[in-house]
Amino acid sequence: MTTEELDLYFDVREERLLNRIKELLAKPKSLRIGQNEAWEIYGRANVRAWRLSGQIQAYKMIRRVEYEVAKLDELMKQKQLVVKIKRTK
């Protein structure tokens, strides 16, 4: 292995590691997050679709709706995208 190949290997590995660290830092640390934060992180359309289809449960607190972070992460890994179709007249 040449030094150029070794440098390239470490550069790629370092970039992957930095991306993973950024991803972990961006995720909330609690077991549940509020609805607004869930919409911001996972997409409002996705969260609403998952809730309406029964894939995720909303926990209603006194003045707040919360969702489990683990379940949201699991659903997001399925890469479900909600596409809104425009109706034409």
pLDDT digits (tens, 9 = 90+) for 42-84: 889 999 999 999 999 999 988 999 999 989 988 888 865 555 5
Q: What is the pLDDT of residues 40-52, one digit of tens each?
A: 888 899 999 999 9
Same domain, 19 and 43: no
| In contact, 42 and 72? CB cutoff 8 Å | yes
Same domain, 6 and 39: no
Same domain, 12 and 44: no
Query: Residue 42 sits in which domain range?
Result: 31-89
For the cut 90, the answer to whether the pLDDT of residue 29 exceeds it is: no
Same domain, 1 and 44: no
Q: How far apart (Å, rounded) are the C-alpha atoms in residues 73 and 69?
A: 6
Q: How far apart (Å, rounded) are the C-alpha atoms in residues 24 and 32?
A: 16
Q: What local confidence, expressed as pLDDT, does residue 16 receive?
A: 87
Same domain, 21 and 52: no
Same domain, 40 and 3: no
Same domain, 45 and 83: yes
Q: How many domains does the chain have?
A: 2
pTM score, whole prediction: 0.56
